[in-house]
Structure 1
Amino acid sequence: MFEKIEGFIAFFSPWIWDWPLLILLIGGGLFFLIYSRFTPFFYFRHAIQVLGGKYDNEEAPGQLSHFQALSSAIAATVGMGNISGVAIAIVTGGPGAIFWMWISALIGMATKFYTCSLSVMYRSKDEDGKLLSGPMYVIMNGLGEKWKPLAVFFALAGLVGTLPAFTANQLTQTLVDVMNWGDGSKLYIGLVLAVIASMVILGGIKRIGLVASKLVPSMVILYFITVFTILIIQIDVVPQMFMLIFSDAFSGEAAEGGALGYLVKTGIKRAAFSNEAGIGTAPMMHGTAKTNEPIREGLVAMIGPAIDTLLVCTLTALAILSTGVWQYTDGNGISLTLEAFNSVLPYGLGDIVVVIMVLVFAFSTLFSHSYYGTVCLGFLTKPKYGKYYNYVYIIFIVIAAVVKIDFAINLIDSAFALMAIPTVVSGLILAPKVNAFAKEYFKKV
């Protein structure tokens, strides 16, 4: 039975991630970029000021500060997609896939500005007065009852897309590789991970936001220090790696089958997993920010792709490419990243650093994604029942620890593709509303 499911997912993932969906994601992002006349990019400094707390208002409706909302959203994106996902992009698409990740991220910044502004404009309240947001509430409150099937479609896909399949799988694989425990230990690792994750997950959105705001800054700084160390050691080849990324971006020679189209699709797909722009998860978190200004939170959300894809993914890619291990190893995902770090850093240090990074990155992602799932289930039933998703989520951590990496990647990719359709479609229809709000807000600024 499981083999049939595995086979279907393996067929469905590349099918759904074909040109129509890529045109929707990239074409939609380009529309947002041009329709906004690039205006949000001119206020990047203002976005940083908002993030720093200059405009925080404790009396404003919401559960999280601007910083906590972005930290929680980044906690979901600056994770295994940046360490493991980049390695997968290089193995399957070649160095040129990184270039298309950059393009996707730049366009994704505009997408996040629109979708996350809408998430504040059209948020709802549960029976306890807590704010709820996300594409499904944007669709219901912004487009009306007749669009409910599209909202339900997103929430159903979200129940799968927010599962910890990829994250728990790669975290387990890291521990197995470093500790030499063998595949038989994966089940026990999964059980331990489930217990640890449940301590934060069951505490709700405020505990997730608090933990994420403490973890994210420190994990990003530590990761930067490690990767910069590798790049300094390999400084003589780093310029060549940049040239390799650009030259391979339009040749596709290193991609599977030597196809340029496959290379472009790989880059965009991995960027979507990295920054989730257009997927619809980040709006669920940003919509809980304490603010009365939707545009303000849209600007903060725009910072996300810049950090997790343009910055963190680029550093990971240069570290892997500069070592050259990607050319002669059979490793994929986290195993390749681990091999690259170990090839440069002193013996044993690479293992230690990667384990620390993966633990922090993976747990922060697990915490945020669990919240997204509760919001989806709450929308499909009642908000008070959303919390029961956490128990399914915790059980799935154990399951994800023992499945094959290909199944984990294909499952999440498939769900993300389905989630993107209602997110981008609703964003395109309601874009004029965002522009109207933005015009008024930027006048005040």
Structure 2
Amino acid sequence: MSKLPDTLRLQSVVPCSGEVTLPGSKSIANRALLLAALCRQPVVLHNMLRSDDTARMMDALNALGVGLTVDNHTQVTVAGCGGRWKPQQQVLQLGNAGTAMRPLLAVLAATLNDDQQLRLDGDPRMRERPVKDLVDSLAQQQAGISYLGQQGYPPVEVCGGLQAGHFSIDGSVSSQFISALLIALPLLAGDSSLTLTGNIVSRPYIDLTLAMLDDFGVRIDTVSEQEFFIPGKQSLRSPGDYFVEGDASGASYWMAAAAISGGSLTIKGVGKDSIQGDVDFTEVVSRMGADVEFFANAIRVTGGQPLQAIDFDGNAIPDASMTLAPLALFAKGTTAIRNVANWRVKETDRLAAMATELRKTGATVEEGSDYLLITPPERWQHATVDTYDDHRMAMCFALASFSPAGVSINDPACCAKTYPQFFSEFSRLCHLT
């Protein structure tokens, strides 16, 4: 499956079994690229994800004067510049990569010289993804940021000036805002504090950022669940070699495929010591009826039992919890996915998109402001699924290939954002007809 067609028809007639090795995590890869650039010595990144999103970050760092050497397809050497940027161009085009836009916005506000100005822009969807809460928080301490289009959204112009002090931010919109501040504030000349307000979404991604900062020699003190103390004047220390974990969000599709089809699948690249919160999708498939085994760097999921509907709070793992939606089509009863309002500000409005596409299979779906209720089809219909240029929509609906009616997926190539080989691997493991 070298080049994907515009519409891909899928139907699997055998269990999804065998072994699969995950690509590197997008969340870890883009953080690692930026942290490596902030070091003063080179960092060799291993198991690097090569995808649309990481390409956007690499292009941006190149434009900032950072030396990047692609040693092979999954190894990149970053010649750290310690945040002393030498911009080669004035506009950073970041596509729809939130893991590039948000942290770069904060880090550049903290590190640009007085005479440097940069514009951060993206594709049409990025211009619909809010950055207001992050910009407001940075503006509390004199960051030079201005909107160049619609207020609260990219494109923005950044010209530095951020000062140390007390910061607060609403944690209910995106954990990427919080991670961006945690990366930027240690670079300031003085000490800072950060207070989180509201219902914090995707907490494991904040913990991931803290763990990675520690790997790069940065100290951040956790005062409470809602407050951090960040000493200033910190320099990032190169770890020399840094391994990018496999993508735990991507692992969720394979867990679900084994659970639905009754296969036994070993997923390599994440394991019992993973620093990614999305590994907790194992709880979902276990509660629904699958068997789960953990190893040092692998997880094995075995299906076979009839799947049962569950009521699940997806706030902590919103990306992986999307996979529960198509999984619910194969479970007895009505599945509830709750507390996922931030699906609406992702690559598309995922609550609306998921409800619309699930109904095409014959399922009964109730869409609320922050939840979905999903009852499986009484009679399956062949669905031609629109993916909204959203990689997770494409990969989620591959699971509908296990239905009696199969599924057709429009624009399957959009999965290149994080998992370019997904459908080749799916075909290999699930023996598509």
- TM-score tier, shorter chain, comes to under 0.3
Rg larger in structure = 2
Q: Which has the higher helix share?
A: 1
Q: TM-score, normalised by structure 1?
A: 0.24
Q: TM-score, normalised by structure 2?
A: 0.25
Q: Which has the higher strand share?
A: 2
Which structure is richer in relative contact order (CA contacts within 8 A, separation 6 or more)? 1
